């Protein structure tokens, strides 16, 4: 697929890196919206080191292998999207993110059944009722758009941080901890299942600990002194996630 078009007659060519840019200028809130390049590169280093492999396994177990179409919202540099493309090898898989730097990274390693698109999660460039599965991992979206693109019997899977996610790290950064909000069904959806997933994180000193700190909002909160200490020591903590599966209300 070298080009795509819309019902309004607009045509878009595939970039030389292999992705499509479908983000109109009026949907940009800055020159380079989304996560910064440094943050996305850190995310790639950390995730490809396998620390979140249990989350990836739990996620793919929720997705039927016979799925024909899947949309990953907020795909970043494509770690989870790529794995879902391998799992649903006969599906058309789409990864969408507003950060061009992330999509460029993802497209360099794209499988033949995965297409990456620069676009807003609040105005998805996806046909109505066209997706069997929609995934959203730590990303914002618009409930009305989720309703629109998901097929009548499709599954929406949302991953959010659990109560104890990186608790030890947060205790070292913040004087007062705020609990992560409990997930609620998006408007127009009913809950099919909810799963808590927790596992130990033992991150060695150096690059991977630095990458974890860079890829999270903690990068803006940690002091230079604590950052240096954490990188030198490594990190022993807990990863905790809530995996919620939803379906459209009848």
Q: What is the mean pLDDT of the chain?
A: 90
Return the number of other C-beta atoms located less than 10 Å from residue 43's C-beta: 22
Backbone angles phi, psi at 231, to 5 degrees: -65, -35
Instruction: Tell me if 164 sits within 8 A of 237, measured CB to CB.
Output: no
Strand duo 11-13 + 150-161: pairing: unpaired
Calpha distance 150→71 (Å, rounded): 9
Instruction: Tell me if 234 sits within 8 A of 212, measured CB to CB.
Output: no
Domains assigned to the chain: 3-248 (3.40.50.150)
pLDDT range class, residue 165, cuts 50, 70, 90: very high
Retrieve residue 188's tokens.
């127009």
On the question of pLDDT at 155 being above 80, the answer is yes
Task: Give 93-129 pLDDT, tens digit per residue.
Answer: 999 999 999 999 999 988 889 999 999 999 999 999 9
Question: DSSP characters for the chain?
Answer: --EEE-TTS-EEEPPTTS-EE---GGG-SSSS-SS-HHHHHHHHHHHHTTTTHHHHHHHHHTS-TT-SEEEEET-TTSHHHHHHHHHTTTSEEEEEES-HHHHHHHHTT--TTEEEEE--TTS--S-TT-EEEEEEES----HHHHHHHEEEEEEEEEEEE-TTTTHHHHHHH-SSPPPPPPP-PPTTEEEEEEEEEEEEEEEPTTHHHHHHHHHSGGGGTS-HHHHHHHHHH-EEEEEEEEEEEEEE--
Return the number of other C-beta atoms located less than 10 Å from residue 82's C-beta: 22
pLDDT at 204: 97
Instruction: Tell me if 135 sits within 8 A of 219, measured CB to CB.
Output: no
On the question of pLDDT at 84 being above 60, the answer is yes
Mean pLDDT calculated for residue range 22-39: 67
Angle at 47 between CA 45 and CA 53, to 5 degrees: 150
pLDDT at 5: 47
On the question of pLDDT at 9 being above 50, the answer is no
User: Looking at per-residue confidence, does 211 or 2 come out higher?
Assistant: 211
On the question of pLDDT at 162 being above 50, the answer is yes
On the question of pLDDT at 26 being above 50, the answer is yes
pLDDT at 136: 98
Mean pLDDT calculated for residue range 223-245: 96
User: Looking at per-residue confidence, does 116 or 18 come out higher?
Assistant: 116
pLDDT range class, residue 219, cuts 50, 70, 90: confident
pLDDT at 182: 86
On the question of pLDDT at 172 being above 50, the answer is yes
- pTM reported for the whole predicted model: 0.91
10 Å CB burial of residue 35 (0-12, 13-18, 19+) is: buried
On the question of pLDDT at 213 being above 60, the answer is yes
On the question of pLDDT at 52 being above 90, the answer is yes
């Amino acid at each position: 697929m070298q080009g795509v078009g819309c019902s309004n007659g607009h045509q878009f060519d595939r970039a030389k890196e292999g992705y499509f840019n479908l983000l109109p200028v009026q949907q940009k809130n800055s020159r380079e919206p989304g996560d910064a390049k440094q943050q996305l590169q850190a995310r790639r280093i950390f995730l490809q080191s396998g620390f979140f492999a249990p989350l990836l396994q739990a996620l793919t177990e929720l997705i039927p292998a016979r799925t024909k179409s899947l949309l990953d919202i907020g795909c970043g540099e494509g770690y989870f999207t790529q794995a879902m493309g391998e799992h649903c090898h006969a599906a058309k898989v789409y990864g969408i993110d507003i950060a061009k730097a992330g999509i460029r990274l993802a497209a360099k390693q794209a499988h033949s059944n995965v297409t990456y698109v620069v676009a807003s999660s609040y105005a998805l460039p996806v046909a109505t009722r066209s997706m069997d599965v929609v995934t959203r991992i730590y990303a914002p979206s618009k409930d009305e758009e989720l309703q629109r693109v998901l097929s009548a019997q499709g599954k929406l899977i949302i991953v959010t941080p659990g109560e104890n996610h990186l608790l030890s790290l947060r205790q070292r950064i913040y004087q007062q901890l705020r609990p992560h909000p409990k997930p609620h069904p998006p408007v127009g959806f009913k809950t099919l299942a909810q799963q808590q997933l927790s596992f130990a994180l033992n991150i060695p000193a150096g690059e991977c600990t630095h990458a974890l700190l860079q890829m999270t909002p903690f990068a803006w909160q940690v002091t230079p002194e604590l950052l240096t200490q954490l990188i030198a020591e490594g990190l022993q903590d807990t990863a905790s996630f809530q995996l919620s599966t939803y379906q459209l209300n009848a």
